Structure 1
Amino acid sequence: MKIAVCGFVMGIANLIPGVSGSTIAVIMNIYERLLNAISAFAKLKPSKEDTTFLFYLGVGIVTAIFAGSLLVSLALKAIPVVTYALFLGLVLGSLSTIIKRVNKVKPTYIAAGV
């Protein structure tokens, strides 16, 4: 169930400009697991755990995209300024979380990010 919830949050993130599902996967601490599962499928050697993980993640993502696209569309029409402010806040908030996970922040890292 936790994986489906992570997928749902990733799906919502995919609807928001500037926020990606991968960023959410890093924040929710499932990014490495996701890469390993996808890699196993690419090698045509997925385990049952990989299949189950990707299935529940996919269910969450697809559900969020269908449900969330309606909500985002309505919000953009009804309250566009608030909706865009929310998008900006999510982008900035996710950025600070990612920066905290980096051991050393060097000027070259910042330049590469810009």
Structure 2
Amino acid sequence: HFFDMVGFRMPDGVVFLADCISSRETLDKYAVSFIYDMGAYLETLDMVEGMEAAMFVPAHAEASADVKELVCCNRDKVHEVAEKILSICREPICFERILQEVFKGYGLAMNFEQYV
């Protein structure tokens, strides 16, 4: 979801997924994450969902032999947030107001460092 992130498959079948999926707890707590290219991110989720590995090691979730369900949770959250943004944008609105409505809708708070 971020610039220049890569995953690695090791000879023993362990796949390090970098930060392409988050735990349910993280999705529930923050709801909205930074995704640079949503299309590429969704393609990555599709690719990860189809992978077989001895173990998957994501940066933001527990290691597991099966991440299919977690991939679905991440995909569902992306679509949920996108739908929320689309519903907010039914009428012309500035970026700051969109951000305010998204954060209000998810009960989130943002400090200055997070905004920039």
- Taking structure 1 as the reference length, the TM-score comes to 0.35
Answer 1 or 2: which has greater strand percent: 2
Answer 1 or 2: which has greater helix percent: 1
Bigger RCO of structures 1 and 2 (CA < 8 A, at least 6 apart): 1
- Taking structure 2 as the reference length, the TM-score comes to 0.35
